[in-house]
Amino acid sequence: SGSSSEQQGKEPPGPRPLPLLGNLFQLDLKRLGDTLFEISKKYGSVFTVHIGPKKVVVLAGYKTVKEALVNHAEEFGERGIVHVFKELQQGHGISFANGDSWKEMRRFALTNLRDFGMGKKGSEEKTIEEVRYLTEVFEEHKGKAFDPTQPIHYAIANIICSIVYGSRFDYLDPRFRHSVDRVNDSLRLGGCASIELYNIFPWLGRLLESKRRIFKNDYDNKKEICDLVSGLKETLNPQMCRGFVDSFLVRKMSLEESGNSNSHYHIENLIQTVGNLFAAGTDTTATTIRWGLMFIAKYPDIQDRVQEEISKVIGSRQPMVEDRKNLPYTDAVIHETQRVANILPVSLPHVTSRDITIQGYFIKKGTVVIPLLTSVLRDDCEWETPQTFNPAHFLDEKGRFVKKDAFIPFSLGRRVCLGESLARMELFIFFTSLLQRFRFSPPPGVTEDDLDLTPVAGLTHNPLPHQLCAVSRSE
Ligand code: HEM
């Protein structure tokens, strides 16, 4: 602490760390978001914790997270790459990459997701097609209790398949099922305490069964993606790209033909990027839909109002994205679902790209930063009843939908979720289509009060294993 660091500001405060173990005894790794939120109430909106020997700066509350990720987008816009991903991804792909390669892959993926008019069908149409298949599966249960998790995950994964490969898969196709199940398994394991510890103490690696499984899943996934890519390569028609993979292969070929053999468009980047789109684009959206069904099963009055609105405005025809503006209550319930579900409580880690002072606190280049989304989605300066499910957060006194700045489940800034608009479209189409067709309720013998909304830790916050009844409304 010389005079220069005094000029730049002081170190963010925080609980006193033990050697090697840091603050591990103060942190509940299974509910990291919640414990960090509690610590922020004592130490303020910029504070330091030591996860093991690793120093991490946490940003809490809407004002601080926005100031960092938006007003200092460059300084806070780099990905902090935890050990397990460094080994698996080798700097390729999007989610756990930085620099020029990241920039190029992110831009290319965004363009392809956005104007997916390159195939015959846009992604809205693909989503509508997929929700029809899901409806059939729900109908097969004839109102009896079932666990909707797997079919919802298969449906959402299929939308990514349509965009990436240009075709969907049958829910019963074992190769498809295994791919989706493997990604879910890894995400579950990725957030469990033993992997957190592995990230901190890599030398523990050999001892850990979960690490072995994550690596095996990753190996199998890459092999599967490779097989599918080879198949597409054989039937490639550059005039008619079927999906993201085709368009990547065409770009790769044209760069090679023009003598640029050293570009970012190489096979490792293709495989990692496809893997990232699946991992980031399936579990997140599917889990949010599962939370949505839990909430409306728990709060039947809210379900009544959504269904009245859908009946009045849409009737029995297929809901479309352009109906959203006429469904303010339903829209508010979807937003409130994302706020309360809070599926990525600590977002993904960032790292500072240079020295930076924020709110008088000095943070050195290369420091891992956690934008604590929990603290924004539950910020009591921003929400009337931060701890309860309350669609009125997104409605004015006339019942019109109102946007809220602190609604940032997709984060903000340079690393903001790349799939945000796709995800919002999927959530709207799935939620409205399912509520149009079905009445959701807890299984017989379980009351609404019994439905337990405690989240299970993983890389994403999941509902506890549960069953629901989906009773067809037309009967
Ligand atoms: C990153 C949320 C759906 C692709 C992220 C991040 C969050 C997030 C919080 C981290 C942002 C940061 O670093 O600050 C969500 C939620 C979703 C969702 C809540 C659904 C409800 C999707 C979908 C896709 C996707 C459907 C793919 C099509 C990605 C990718 C990244 C990302 C590739 C990494 C971006 C980068 O590092 O540059 N998402 N996401 N996400 N998301 Fe999503």
Rg (CA), the chain: 23
Count CA atoms closer than 13 A to 261's CA, side-chain side: 1
Please give all residues whose beta carbon lies within 6 A of any atom in ligand 1, as ranges. 79, 94-95, 106, 113, 276-277, 280-281, 284-285, 288, 343-344, 347-348, 371, 409-411, 415-419, 422-423
Buried b (16+ CB within 10 A) or exposed e, 370-409: bbbbbbbbbbeebbeebeebbbebbbeeeeebeeeebbbb
Pairing of strands 361-363, 78-79: unpaired
Tell me 470's DSSP state. Answer: E
pLDDT score at 406: 98
**For position 112, what pLDDT does the model report?**
87
Rounded to the nearest 10°, the torsion over CA 191, 194, 196, 197 is 180
Neighbours of 243 (CB within 10 A): 21
Q: Whose CA is nearest to atom 32 of ligand 1?
A: 417
Closest ligand 1 atom to the C-alpha of 427? 21
Q: pLDDT value at position 116?
A: 60
Q: For residues 50 and 199, which has the higher predicted lDDT (pLDDT)? A: 50
Q: Which atom of ligand 1 is nearest to the CA of 287?
A: 21
Contact 28, 34 (CB under 8 A): yes
Q: Measure the CA–CA gap between 48 and 25, rounded to whole angstroms.
A: 15
Q: How many CB atoms lie within 10 A of CB 199?
A: 21
To test the ligand 1 pocket, which listed residue (418, 427, 461) has its Cβ within 8 A of the most ligand atoms? Answer: 418
The whole-angstrom separation of Cα 296 and Cα 271 is 38
- Return the residue whose CA atom lies nearest to atom 6 of ligand 1: 417
Residue 60: which residues within 8 A CB-CB, separation 6 or more?
A: 36, 37, 40, 44, 45, 46, 47, 372, 375
Closest CA to 426 of 165, 105, 153, 68: 153
What's the mean pLDDT in 123-131? 92
Start-to-end C-alpha separation, the chain: 73
Strand duo 361-363 + 356-358: pairing: antiparallel
* pLDDT value of position 118: 46
Give 285 Cα–ligand 1 centroid separation in angstroms. Answer: 10
Tell me the pLDDT of the chain averaged across its residues. Answer: 90
State yes or no: pLDDT of 198 exceeds 80: no
Model confidence at 457: pLDDT above 80? no
Q: What percent of the chain stands above pLDDT 70? A: 92
Six token digits for residue 37: 């939120």
Quote the ligand 1 centre to 411 CA distance (angstroms): 8
pLDDT in tens, 130-178: 999 999 999 999 999 999 999 999 999 999 999 999 999 999 999 999 9
Instruction: Give me the amino acid identity at 103.
Output: K
What confidence score (pLDDT) does residue 3 get?
A: 44
Output the residue whose Cα is nearest ligand 1's atom 39.
Answer: 417
Nearest to 348 by CA among 273, 272, 279: 279
Question: 130 CA to middle of ligand 1, Å?
Answer: 21
Q: Is the pLDDT of residue 251 over 60?
A: yes
Structure tokens at 267: 């096979």
pLDDT tens, residue by residue, 289-345: 999 999 999 999 999 999 999 999 999 999 999 999 999 999 999 999 999 999 999
Interface pTM, i.e. ipTM:
0.99
Q: Rounded to whole angstroms, how far apart are CA atoms 18 and 22?
A: 4
Q: What pLDDT is stored for residue 202 in this prediction?
A: 62
- CA of 349, closest atom in ligand 1: 13
pTM value is 0.94
Cα separation, 276 vs 261, in Å, equals: 24
Kindly state the average pLDDT of the residues 5-13.
77
Report CA(410)–ligand 1 centroid distance (Å).
Answer: 6
- Cα(348) to centroid of ligand 1, in Å? 9
Please state the rounded mean pLDDT for residues 36-55. Answer: 92
Distance 415 CA to ligand 1 centre (A): 8
Task: Give the residue with greater pLDDT, 237 vs 84.
Answer: 237
pLDDT at 458: 64
- Percent of the chain clearing pLDDT 90 (strictly above): 72
Question: CA torsion 345→285→275→191, rounded to 10°?
Answer: 30
Q: Which residues make Cβ contacts (< 8 Å) with residue 48, sequence separation at least 6?
A: 11, 12, 13, 14, 55, 56, 57, 58
